[in-house]
Structure 1
Amino acid sequence: MKQMKFLGLALVAIFATGILFSSCDNNDDEVNKTPHVKINFNTVTTPMTVTDRLKSAMEAKELAFTSGFITLREIQFEVETDNDSIEVEFELEINTQIDFATGETNPDISFVEIPAGTYNEFEVEIELQDEGDSPSMVLDGAYIDANGTSHPVRFEFNSGETFQIEQEGIIVFTTNTSALTHITIDPTAWFAEVTNEMLTNADKIDGVIVISETQNTDIFEIAADGLDFSSEVEIEID
């Protein structure tokens, strides 16, 4: 079932805008261009600290996700003025995968045009694919236990969720302006409430701690709830 979720620590968008200048020789021939937004996905692969609430920090261990994929069905941009709303939508003809190790997408969905204007709200919605039995998100990593032993971990998420991030306040897009959008995907936010005890006692499939709707569901529910945090967006204008 599809749900709307707001990602804060999970998805953080940073918009950096600046005027695009051509060479002096081409100034007379320069045609005003529609503003466009370039999309970069930043995936966080650094380890997070895992500890038990009743134990000391000396016993804290690590959990990290370093590879995998996230399959998108649609990305939608919407900008609003005081009088109306202009909606810009990506209609992806095929599912688009984000390589979690690199942040690159296949096929490329790196930019979208935004009509020039002054807006008081900027919103981005990302919808995961929900067709078939294959998970829309699979992240692979490792958990290091109290003895320093590394255990393979796989997080599987299979739902057509729609994630939303938004920014309110005056945002100006002028002709020949380029906006850079960094969407940061940080699994450490989703697993912030998971403890060493949970991971140490987790069931394994062929030596792998699989966290999904059917395996280690206590950990999965914490991670899924972590996707509900309110969003945070920063816009930097050059």
Structure 2
Amino acid sequence: MKNPINKIGIKILMSLTISVCSLLGCVEDDSIAPGMGRIKFEVSTTSGIMKNVSGRILAPNTLTFTSGKIVIREVVFDGDTGGQSISRTIEQIATIDYSTGKVTPSIFVQVPAGEYTSVNLGVELQDEDNKPSVVIEGTFVNSENKSIPVRFEFNSGEVFEADAARVTIKEGEDIVGKITFDAIAWFSVVSASELEDATLTNGVIVISENKNSDIFDKVADRLDVATQAVFQ
């Protein structure tokens, strides 16, 4: 004879599931609750060439970034609507492919529909182990026209924030909150001569807290300043 179903246990499990989804913003069957809209978190990257930026990088010197990854752990949305402040936090470890901007897994923030002011979108980098949360790779062509691999490593719980004056979120619809991570802009404060003189590690210009730290400090200071966001 089969054991009877433990109804109390089922109720507890359902309660825990609802609580977790409330905290993390999950939506069953990818649906949007009545009176709500969603912000889809997306990323734009720049895999371009820095050449003759403010007279710092001059031909034949070129710096190009083409690949890498950025690991995040949290996305936060804050805004005011209808006389109240709305704040949503999605705790989700996700990886951004620098070459494509693709975010895996996808992240949605569900919020009440309405006209929002004083909007803020924040993204926190993963910072729980010794692995760098940001790794961007490319090449530097020096004055001898030799191509040298470049690897930028950043390991910190940095929070990137971007503001918008006004955003409209419609019921049952998605809008995109897109943040731009632009390694070319990060390196705009680095001169060609600094890259020429950088120390190589197995033939690679590694820029991290422990390697070529003078260049690293300049780039790290630019990360937050050069990060932008738009809602569309």
Regarding TM over 0.5, the answer is yes
In 1, Cα distance between the equivalents of 2:131 and 2:34? 44
1:72 corresponds in structure 2 to 72
Q: Which runs of 4+ in 1 moved over 4 A?
A: 50-55, 230-236
2:51 corresponds in structure 1 to 49
Deviation at 1:234, TM superposition (A): 4.5
1:126-151 Cα deviation digits (max 9, x unpaired): 00011111111111110011222100
**Counterpart amino acid of residue 181 in structure 2:** I
Counterpart selection for 2:172 from 173, 176, 182: 176
**Counterpart amino acid of residue 105 in structure 1:** V
**Counterpart amino acid of residue 108 in structure 1:** S
2:91 corresponds in structure 1 to 91
The aligned length equals: 200
1:205 corresponds in structure 2 to 201
The equivalences for 1:24-63 within 5 A come to: 34-49=36-51, 53=55, 57=58, 59=59, 61-63=61-63
After superposition, the CA RMSD in angstroms is: 2.3
Deviation at 1:180, TM superposition (A): 2.0
Unaligned runs of 5+ in 1: 1-30
Deviation at 1:202, TM superposition (A): 0.2
In 1, Cα distance between the equivalents of 2:125 and 2:55? 34
Structure having the larger proportion of residues in helix: 2
The structure with the largest alpha-carbon Rg is: 2
In 2, Cα distance between the equivalents of 1:176 and 1:228? 32
Deviation at 1:32, TM superposition (A): 5.2
Residues 211, 184 of structure 1: CA spacing in aligned structure 2 closer, same or farther, 3 A cutoff? same
Deviation at 1:157, TM superposition (A): 0.2
**Counterpart amino acid of residue 129 in structure 1:** Q
**Counterpart amino acid of residue 211 in structure 1:** I
1:57-77 Cα deviation digits (max 9, x unpaired): 5x3521111111111011111
1:105 corresponds in structure 2 to 103
**Counterpart amino acid of residue 41 in structure 1:** V
Does 2:123 align with 1:126? Answer: yes
Larger RCO (CA under 8 A, 6+ residues apart): 1
Q: Are 2:199 and 2:212, in contact at CA under 8 Å, matched by a contact in 1?
A: yes
**Counterpart amino acid of residue 47 in structure 1:** I
Counterpart selection for 1:155 from 152, 155, 161: 152
TM-score (norm: length of structure 2): 0.78
In 1, Cα distance between the equivalents of 2:106 and 2:231? 23
TM-score (norm: length of structure 1): 0.76
Deviation at 1:41, TM superposition (A): 1.3
Q: Are 2:140 and 2:150, in contact at CA under 8 Å, matched by a contact in 1?
A: yes
Give the share of equivalent positions with the same residue, in percent.
Answer: 37
Unaligned runs of 5+ in 2: 1-32
In 2, Cα distance between the equivalents of 1:79 and 1:44? 28
Deviation at 1:182, TM superposition (A): 2.5
1:226 corresponds in structure 2 to 222
